[in-house]
């Protein structure tokens, strides 16, 4: 028996390694085919340019704004204080002392470079990725909040709450997210900001928050159905037992039903959140520079579509895979 089981394990291991080799060969073939096809269209790969779109060293120039003479240059705390006196006006500029391009008594004209220095800055792709994370986290938070209340209202015996929830869920789930973003930005955004201006309020709501609202309400409709299904999957005896212990409806829902329901809806909830991260790419149509729009802008200026879209896809994969791993950890703990 031991020899038979050992032979089986050996055969399974052999089959496993054969399929691993087939996978590696297939993946290598796809990469080689893509490289060959790019070579046929005379495409030059420039991967060395990619890092600067994450983090780069910028040359900062301090320029004069008036015409005049350098009256004095003082040094304090490793910084130079350059004072320029013109015709009835004086300007003061601050720069690192080792990067000064002028001396005392020099004649200065507007636009002349007084000093220059290098400074590390965050690149456009990193800023776009950060904005994608920010928008997704805020939308997820409000989406859970909206979906929780809409899901409970969906199974409520109160007809006003139930029908309002059904109307919201069916309208949102029955229309494309792209259309909803347009409605939030062009219709509701215009109405709300016009009212704010006419009421004399000194600010308007930026496009970012209309994009967040569109994502949150879109996510909330799907979360509501998950919450409803999760609550209804809990045996009715749980509610009856909690009510017999003296709990009212709210206490029973908060302490007994919802904790059990949330464990069951965690996997589909994670899938919805992963979809939300990818759906945030649609916000570029309303001038929000998230990751996809940032990539599109860089492609337009650098003419490197192959490398940049691969990098964009990998960044989205990193975000969604990280979220998936977090959810799996939570599932194991529960």
Q: CA-to-CA distance for 29 and 35, rounded, in angstroms?
A: 10
Beta-carbon contacts of residue 219 (< 8 Å; ≥ 6 apart) = 139, 140, 143, 146, 147, 272, 273, 276
Q: Of 208, 219, 201, nearest to 279 (Cα)?
A: 219
Domain span at 69: 64-122
**DSSP calls for 233-275:** HS-HHHHHHHHHTT--HHHHIIIIIHHHHHHHHHHHHHHHHHH
Does one domain contain both 104 and 213? Answer: no
Tens-place pLDDT, residues 36-48: 887 777 777 788 8
Tens-place pLDDT, residues 266-306: 778 888 888 889 888 898 888 888 899 999 999 888 888 88
How many domains does one find in the chain?
2
Does one domain contain both 281 and 314? Answer: yes
Residue 216 has pLDDT above 90, yes or no: yes
Please report whether residue 45 resides in a domain.
Answer: no
> Which of 122, 154, 189 marks a domain boundary?
122
Average pLDDT over residues 173-193: 90
Q: CA-to-CA distance for 150 and 146, rounded, in angstroms?
A: 6
Q: CA-to-CA distance for 72 and 81, rounded, in angstroms?
A: 8
Structure letter (DSSP) for residue 90: E
Does one domain contain both 209 and 321? Answer: yes
Please report whether residue 284 resides in a domain.
Answer: yes
Residue 214 has pLDDT above 90, yes or no: yes
Tens-place pLDDT, residues 46-73: 888 888 888 888 888 888 888 888 777 7
CATH of the domain at 102: 2.40.50.100
Does one domain contain both 257 and 325? Answer: yes
Q: Give 103 or 290, the one with higher predicted confidence.
A: 290
Tens-place pLDDT, residues 110-163: 887 878 778 888 888 999 999 999 999 999 899 988 998 888 888 888 888 889
Q: Of 71, 80, 62, nearest to 106 (Cα)?
A: 71
Helix or strand holding residue 313 (H, E): helix 305-333
3-state secondary structure (DSSP) of residue 232: helix
Other Cβ atoms closer than 10 A to 134? 14
Structure letter (DSSP) for residue 100: B
CATH of the domain at 128: 1.10.3720.10
The answer to whether 310 and 317 have CB atoms below 8 angstroms apart is: no
Q: Of 289, 240, 304, nearest to 49 (Cα)?
A: 304
Does one domain contain both 186 and 69? Answer: no
């Amino acid at each position: 028996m031991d020899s038979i089981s050992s032979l089986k394990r050996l055969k399974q291991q052999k089959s496993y390694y054969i399929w691993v080799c087939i996978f590696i060969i297939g993946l290598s073939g796809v990469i080689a085919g893509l490289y060959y096809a790019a070579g046929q269209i005379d495409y030059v790969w420039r991967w060395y340019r990619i890092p600067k779109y994450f983090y780069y060293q910028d040359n900062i120039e301090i320029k004069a704004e008036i015409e005049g003479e350098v009256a004095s240059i003082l040094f304090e705390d490793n910084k130079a204080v350059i004072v320029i006196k013109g015709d009835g006006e004086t300007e003061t500029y601050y720069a690192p002392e080792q990067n000064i391009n002028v001396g005392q008594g020099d004649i200065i004209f507007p636009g002349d470079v007084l000093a220059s220095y290098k400074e590390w800055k965050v690149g456009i792709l990193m800023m776009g990725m950060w904005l994608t994370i920010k928008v997704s986290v805020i939308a997820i938070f409000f989406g859970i909040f909206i979906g929780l209340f809409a899901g409970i209202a969906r199974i409520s015996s109160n007809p006003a709450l139930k029908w309002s929830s059904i109307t919201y869920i069916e309208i949102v789930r029955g229309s494309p997210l792209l259309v909803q973003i347009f409605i939030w930005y062009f219709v509701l955004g215009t109405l709300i900001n016009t009212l704010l201006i006419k009421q004399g309020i000194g600010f308007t709501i930026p496009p970012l928050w209309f994009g967040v609202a569109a994502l949150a309400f879109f996510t909330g409709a799907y979360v509501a159905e998950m919450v409803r299904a999760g609550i209804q999957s809990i045996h009715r005896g749980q509610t009856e037992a909690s009510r017999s212990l003296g709990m009212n409806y709210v206490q029973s829902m908060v302490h007994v039903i919802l904790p059990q329901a949330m464990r069951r809806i965690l996997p589909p909830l994670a899938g919805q959140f992963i979809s939300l991260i990818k759906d945030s790419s649609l916000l570029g149509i309303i001038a929000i520079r998230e990751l996809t729009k940032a990539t599109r802008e860089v492609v337009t200026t650098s003419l490197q579509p192959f490398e940049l879209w691969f990098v964009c896809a990998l960044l989205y994969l990193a975000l969604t895979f990280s979220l998936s791993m977090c959810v799996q950890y939570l599932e194991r703990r529960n």
